[in-house]
Amino acid sequence: MIACYCRVSTDDQNLDRQRQATSDYAKRHFDAELSDLRFYEDKSTGTDTDRSGYHDLLNDVQSDNIEAVVVNSVTRLSRSFRDLDQTVEIVVDQNDVELHIVSEGLRMTGDKDPYQTAMLNLLAVFSEFEASIIQERVREGIRTRMQNDDYHHGPAPLGFSKQDGKLIEANEFDRVRTVISMVMADELSKRKAARELDTSRRTINRCLDRLELYNLS
């Protein structure tokens, strides 16, 4: 059985591309059929290991049910250097299960390969560093909204509501943020984004002019 692990950070994000990438890789490299694949999925942060899909994966690895683990990117597995190192220890070293990371072209097989180990450690450091930057942007965005009078008057921007004259994130904030980030990455047009969020292109443009609100600047 080949395990394909997929993770996104929020409920609004889609796992389809990771499912496709990992399954295509497993079919190419292991000549696997769809029935040979088992998918483990989480919609949770990668900064810790408190994830049900992740724990199910490790349980099956330790039960000798898995030949190899395939993940699309090192950031999908973990954004913590310590947790990633511990995962490799459990999967590869203790249970002799191969770990394949598609985007970075890494294949951990248990054979001591200094290059592969160094690359994995380097990617883990950058992943953890990126996570800390994202967290700081979130904190900075909150401080900006609390201190800037421009956001205390008039209607609340898309994805926000108001409480005592101050902006707070509404239930749809994560969905709005995801759509705006897709527009920034040219993965979605402004017209389609407006349709997705049931708003106008003018409102989408206002969101793009206020990226600090969405922790995207």
Tens-binned pLDDT, residue by residue, of the chain (217 aa): 999 999 987 776 788 999 999 999 999 999 999 999 999 999 887 777 889 999 999 999 999 889 999 999 888 888 777 788 888 889 988 999 999 999 888 888 877 776 667 766 666 555 655 555 555 555 555 555 555 545 555 678 898 888 776 778 888 888 898 899 889 888 889 999 999 899 999 999 999 988 878 878 6
Superfamily for domain range 2-128: Resolvase, N-terminal catalytic domain (3.40.50.1390)
Element spanning 161, H or E: strand 160-163
Q: Which CATH architecture has domain 148-214?
A: Orthogonal Bundle (1.10)
The CA distances from residue 84 to 49, 62, 76, 164, 204, in Å, are 9, 17, 10, 43, 37
Residue 202: CB atoms within 10 Å:
10
List CB contacts of 155: < 8 A, sequence separation 6 or more: none
d(CA 26, CA 198): 38
Tokens of residue 213, six digits = 């609100």
In this structure, what DSSP letter does residue 171 have?
Answer: T
pLDDT of 160 reads 86
The single residue listed with the structure tokens 């969101």 is 207
Q: Kindly report the number of other CB atoms within 10 A of residue 74's CB atom.
A: 23
3-state SS assignment for residue 101: strand
The domain segmentation of the chain, as residue ranges, is 2-128, 148-214
If 0-12 CB within 10 Å is exposed, 13-18 middle and 19+ buried, where does residue 153 land? exposed
Complete edge-to-edge strand list for the sheet that includes strand 2-8? 37-43, 2-8, 68-71, 98-101, 106-108
Predicted TM-score (pTM) of the model is 0.59
3-state DSSP call for residue 106? strand
